[in-house]
Amino acid sequence: MNYPKHVAIIMDGNGRWGIKKKNSRNYGHKKGLEVVEKIIEAAIEEKIKYLTLFVFSTENWKRPLYEVNYLFKLLNSYIDNRLDKLLKKNIKIYIMGNIKPFPKTLKKKLLKVQRLTSNNRDIQINMALNYGSRQEIISSIKKLNKKNLPINEKNIMSYLYTKNIPDPEILIRTGNTNRISNFLIWQSIYSEIFFLKKMWPEFNKFDFKKIIKKFNKINRNFGGLNVSNK
């Protein structure tokens, strides 16, 4: 059976779920972070090698300041409380995006956790932070122009955040929204996309494993070449 190596997830619906449950978007973000841990466990159980999570997009700066600050607070707290666990579980953290505009303390912590987990091998968690796919592609082309290199597919890929990471075979979006919202535009052209009505805080390990099982039954067609996962 041909298991996927890379799964990417747009974790949508935290705010709406929080409003519905406690009239608080921040409550939804807090519960959503708890789900992240469970899905990482499920990915390890399914022997996924790369899990990319859309944590904070370039468009998220448009949200109310109190909500943005709370998201940063959650990230700070997660690193403080879970770093030892990440190390013990052999989890590698890779920061994917431009974190220069982030608060100084948070930037230091993110770079620290990336450095300390760099030799871990069970699974790589790609945290898409201040990430936008259009910006990523433009940045790659600018670097090629600066180095006077030809603009072609191979060279563009070599300057993307995902240059050493295989493209995701599966892209999941929760939240009952059927679009990819500036996420992995280049990398997801052959991804099998699963849109779910569930909000992210409602998503669970069973849902994740069910998607992996569905993927393994898909006959994948690449420009006329039929590739079966059966």
Instruction: Give the residue numbers marked as catalytic.
Output: 12, 60
Do the Cβ atoms of 225 and 39 come closer than 8 Å? Answer: no
